[in-house]
Structure 1
Amino acid sequence: MPLATTRRTGLVDQVIGQLRDAIAQGEWPVGQRIPTETALAETLGVGRNTVREAIRALSHSGLLEVRQGDGTYVRATSEVSGAVRRLCGSELREVLQVRRSLEVEGARLAATARSDEDLARLTELLDARDRAQNENSHEDFVRADTEFHFMVVHCGHNRLLTELYRGLTETVTASVAATSYDHLTERVAIGHRGLLTAIADRDPARAAAEAGGFLDQLLLREESGSPRPQG
């Protein structure tokens, strides 16, 4: 999205808002360097100091990372995701623990509150996940698996829980990518048909157990030191 010239009141807040929107809408993907302060100042019609303050604020909130002598890079697409990245870093075990807390409750709520349309969408995503596994398509598998887990939480129709989980999108995607490589290549993928069936049967206790069970397997694998691909 093109950046628009700001008004002359509350300049820093306006620049923060525009940069945050640009990041959220994918103008600059995670890991990409954003334009220089000079370029942004010219585009927005403000001074470099205003841009510098806005970048500093977004850096503190975890959306941007300033690398001295190199530039400023996108670190996350939301403050929640940025906070998780700062707290967890590359500690996969901690990410899985946080996912377990949210996804178990999400599955419990989904079994109670899901609609027929929700169930149809869950089935579509799980079918796509299984196809990707059978075809050894790691990228498609990661995408479908991440979307499936988000949809489970969404099916609970708790807006706060859904938005909290949405804020973890990059972190969840990274954890799926890190934990799915071995079981894709070795054909020992952790399945989710039991979870889908429990939600379809409106059985909250079984849905919670299914959601917690597969994450417990991933945690055990991580704690046992199973090798994962590097890079």
Structure 2
Amino acid sequence: MAKPRTLRKTSRSDEVAQLLMDAIAAGEFEAGGRLPSENALAEEYGVSRSTLREAFKKLEQMGAIYTMHGSGSYVRARSEAAPGEEPRLERAGRVVSETFSLDRFSVTEYLDARLAIERTAISLAIDRMDDADFLTLKRILDQSEQEGCSVEEYIELDCKFHRELVRASKNEFLCLFWSHLEPCLREQQRRVVVIPGLVEGSKNKHHQLYDALLQRNKKEALAAYEAHTSTILGRFFTLASESYSSEGQKQE
């Protein structure tokens, strides 16, 4: 029995969709061929069939696969394109490649590094934060709530909040690692901030995380952080789907 693949603690359907897209791009699933059964893929990725179906829907929206009722799901063949039109599978792969990149890194590489740094920082900060650290974070939260705070100003405040959170760990190595990662966070925010409700949702999650830190409740703080970052991959799928659809409309 194959060992289930390890998924990050983010939206499981987003993670499975990304892994499937990577597998298609790598040629693990033949273009024009049928994908393995839902049961087989659900077991391989260690998820439920409903989660797998959600992942399939994301890939269908991007034109990477299609489903035939009673037959199964198939990888879109590269030859399925009108004269002068970029094949759908190639277009989907290109859109994913362009969308799921930050600086010279993939979004998944960025998330792996970010989660490792901030989870560790939160665990350490719970015991090491002092009044000055709490005051700094509170000031950032208050500034983000001020009327007239622009999107660009909020992006900088968001980066500052996470930077100060890592600094509160009192670990110089983590701070050094974060300094190299922060440009990716800034680019991530600029890319996804167009999604409706994102800024307000981010503010709420920051407040929840701050409250848990203030209570020095490690379990609640980590849970709030997981909730804050769990939708990041899904936001990039939203961008990829919109980009794919927009390009398709231009070609028609």
TM-score (norm 2): 0.49
Counterpart check, 1:152 vs 2:152: no
| Distance in 2 between residues matched to 1:181 and 1:136, nearest whole Å | 15
Paired residue secondary structure (2:201): coil
Q: Say if 2:236 is the partner of 1:222.
A: yes
Look up the equivalent residue of 1:218 and give its one-letter code.
Answer: I
Cα deviation for residue 130 of structure 1 reads: 2.7
When normalised by structure 1's length, the TM-score is 0.54
Instruction: Give yes or no for contact 2:193–2:199 (8 Å, CA) kept in 1.
Output: no
Matching residue within 113, 126, 151 for 1:111: 126
Q: Give distance in 2, aligned partners of 1:123 and 1:209.
A: 20
Aligned counterpart for 1:174 among listed residues 187, 203, 214: 187
User: What CA distance in whole angstroms lies between the structure 1 residues aligned with 2:158 and 2:199?
Assistant: 16
Structure 2 CA distance for aligned equivalents of residues 136 and 115 of structure 1: 28
Equivalences for residues 1-231 of structure 1 within 5 A:
85-86=103-104, 88=105, 91-131=106-146, 135=148, 137-183=150-196, 188-190=200-202, 191=204, 192-224=206-238, 225=240, 227=242
Residues 187 and 100 of structure 1, relative CA distance in 2, 3 Å threshold: closer
Quote the residue 1:7 is aligned against: none
**For 2:172 and 2:117, how far apart are their aligned partners in 1?**
13
User: C-alpha distance in 1, partners of 2:124/2:242?
Assistant: 34
Residues 96/178 of structure 1: CA separation in 2 closer, same or farther (3 Å cut): farther
Does the aligned pair in 1 maintain the 2:110–2:181 contact within 8 Å? no
**How far apart, in 2, do the equivalents of 1:104 and 1:179 lie?**
22
Question: How many aligned residue pairs are there?
Answer: 140
| Structure 1 unpaired stretches of 5+ | 1-83
In 1: Cα distance, 2:188 partner to 2:231 partner: 13
CA RMSD of aligned residues (A): 2.6
1-structure distance, mates of 2:228, 2:183 = 20
- Percent identity between matched residues is 22
Q: Offset of 1:227 from its aligned partner? A: 4.3
Q: 2: distance between equivalents of 1:168 and 1:226? A: 26
CA offset at residue 94 of structure 1?
A: 3.3
Mark the CA change 1:115 to 1:215 in structure 2 (over 3 Å): closer, same or farther: same
Contact 1:110 1:204 in 2 (8 A): no
Residues of 1 paired with 2:234 and 2:170: CA distance?
A: 30
Q: Decide whether the 8 Å contact of 1:111 with 1:198 is kept in 2.
A: no
Partner Cα distance (2:211, 2:230) in 1: 19
Aligned to 2:8: none
